Structure 1
Amino acid sequence: MSIFVLSLFVFATSFYASCTNLTAYDVVQKYKLPRGILPEGVIDYKLNNKTGFFKVYFNNTCRFPIEEYKVKFQPIVSGFIKNGRISRLMGVSVKVLYFWLSIGEVTSDGQELELSVGAASEEFSLHRFATSPQCGCGFYCRELTFSS
C-alpha cells in the first residue's frame, strides 16, 4: 500500500510541475486566444486559476505598430482572462490620432480578434496574431530585415 501512495505522490508532483511550466504564451493559448496578443519579452507571469486574474511582466515598456496603430505595453499588464476574452485589461494602450487610449478588453470569436477602447473597437484577422510581435517593429520585423 505504501508503494501505491508513493507512486500517487510522484505522479501528482510531476503533474503539478508540468502544469506550472507553462509560459504566459501557453496560458493565453489555453484560453483560446492567440499567443500574438503578447509581445516577445515576457519575463514572468502570475495567474489565479480560480478568478482568472493575471499579471504579465516585461523588463521595459514595449511599443510597436499594428497596421496603422501604435500599441504600447507597460512593464506590468494585468486583467481577467477566460476562454476567448480578457476583460478589465490594464497596462495596454493604443495611439489614436494624437491620444493614447487604454485597451480595456480583448475578445476572440475564433476568426477575428477585437480590441476594445471604451465604446469603440477594432477587429483584426486572428491569423495576424499567430506569432508574437517584437518591441519596436511589431509584426513587421522580418519585412524590415529582408528589405534592408
Structure 2
Amino acid sequence: MGLSAGFLFSLRRGLLSLAVLLCFSLLFFASIMAAYDELTAYEVLQSYDSPVGLLPKGVSGYDLDNSTGKFSVYLDETCTFSLENSYELKYKSTIKGYIAKDKLSELEGISVKVWLFWVNIVEVTRSSDELDFSVGIASADFPVENFDESPECGCGFDCDNLQLQRIKTGPFVSSS
C-alpha cells in the first residue's frame, strides 16, 4: 500500500508539472500570436517582400487571412494623388486582394488615370529590384526603391514642395 500511494503521489505531481508547463506554453504561444496581430499593414507588406509605398499613409486598419492571403486594407476616405507629375492614382477607402511573397493579385480599389480614363490596377509583382504594375492588358515596370516610402493623399511624394509653393504664393498673392 505504501508503494501505490507513493506512486500515485509522484504521478499527480508529474501531471501537475505537465499541466503548468502546458499553460505557460499556451500563454507564450498566445503572446507571440498577439504580437503578430499587432503588425501594421505596412509591416505585413514588408513581411511578404513588398515595399511599404504600395499603400498611402493613413491606413486605419486591415484584415488578413494568413491561410489564403486574402486581405482588405482600410483608409478613412478615398485617396487621390499624382506621382512624378504624370500618373494620377486613386485608392478607394477599401482595398482588397490577395498577398503572397513578391505579389499582390486580384486587386480591387486601386486605379490609375490613363489619358482620360481610370483603369484598375489588378496586380503588382516584384521581380528582383523592379515592380510590375498590371492593368490587365498592359503593364509598366518601376524600380522598387521608388516605393520605399508611402505617398500622402493629396500630394503623393512631393508634399514638401507643395507646402513650400503654398507658402511662397500664399492664398492671395499672385505667383507671376
TM-score normalised over the length of structure 1? 0.95
**Which sits farther off after the overlay, 86-95 or 108-117?**
108-117
Q: Which runs of 5+ in 2 are unaligned?
A: 1-16, 168-176
Identity of aligned residues (%): 43
SS in structure 2 of the partner of residue 32 of structure 1: coil
Displacement of 1:90: 0.3
Q: Which runs of 5+ in 1 are unaligned?
A: none
Return the letter of the residue paired with 1:140.
D
Compare CA radii of gyration and give the structure with the larger one: 2
SS in structure 1 of the partner of residue 140 of structure 2: strand
Following superposition of structure 1 onto structure 2, how do residues 1-148 of structure 1 map, counting pairs within 5 Å? 1=17, 2-67=19-84, 68-146=86-164, 148=167
Q: How far does the alpha carbon of each residue in 1:16-75 deviate from its partner, in whole angstroms, 9 at most, with x for none? A: 111100111011111110000000111110011111110001111000112211000001
Return the letter of the residue paired with 1:95.
K
Structure with larger RCO (C-alpha < 8 A, sep 6+): 1
2:12 aligns with: none
Q: Which consecutive aligned stretches of 4+ in structure 1 deviate over 4 angstroms post-superposition?
A: none
**Which sits farther off after the overlay, 82-91 or 105-114?**
105-114
SS in structure 2 of the partner of residue 27 of structure 1: helix
Displacement of 1:144: 2.6
Q: How far does the alpha carbon of each residue in 1:56-112 deviate from its partner, in whole angstroms, 9 at most, with x for none? A: 011110001122110000011000110000111000000000000000100111311
C-alpha distance in 1 between matches for 2:71 and 2:83: 24
